[in-house]
Structure 1
């Protein structure tokens, strides 16, 4: 997900999306421990998306 796309999401929806992505990341890590994923770099991409969303959420908190 691009930073530009993240900025367009409302704050409430962004918080929900972060929660959903964190659950997805946790599930991906469990699945990868049991049986290797086809594309393990997806874990890295999801982790970075979460970081981008959290950064945007924090910037919004500081700009209030």
Structure 2
């Protein structure tokens, strides 16, 4: 889980910035895919999973701070 370890090392601010960037990239990929089908449609799935990983890490930190 190299990606998960990488996310845990980032600060909250960096995570939120990366989340914004991933959401924008996913939106752009979807638009491009609608116009011209992508060669690798798996990239959409990968972007969604990255977004979910970031949300999970942010939520875990939020719960940890509440305790």
Q: TM-score range by the shorter chain?
A: over 0.9
Instruction: Provide the residue aligned with 1:56 in structure 2.
Output: 57
Instruction: Provide the residue aligned with 1:39 in structure 2.
Output: 40
Aligned residues: 64
Instruction: Provide the residue aligned with 1:16 in structure 2.
Output: 17
* CA–CA separation in structure 2 for the residues paired with 1:12 and 1:2: 17
Structure 2: runs of 5+ lacking an equivalent: none
Q: Which has the higher contact order (CA 8 A, sep 6+)?
A: 1
Greater Rg over alpha carbons, structure? 2
Once the two structures are TM-superposed, the CA of residue 38 in structure 1 deviates from its matched residue by 1.2
TM-score, normalised to structure 2, is 0.91
Note the aligned Cα RMSD (angstroms).
Answer: 1.0
Once the two structures are TM-superposed, the CA of residue 28 in structure 1 deviates from its matched residue by 0.2
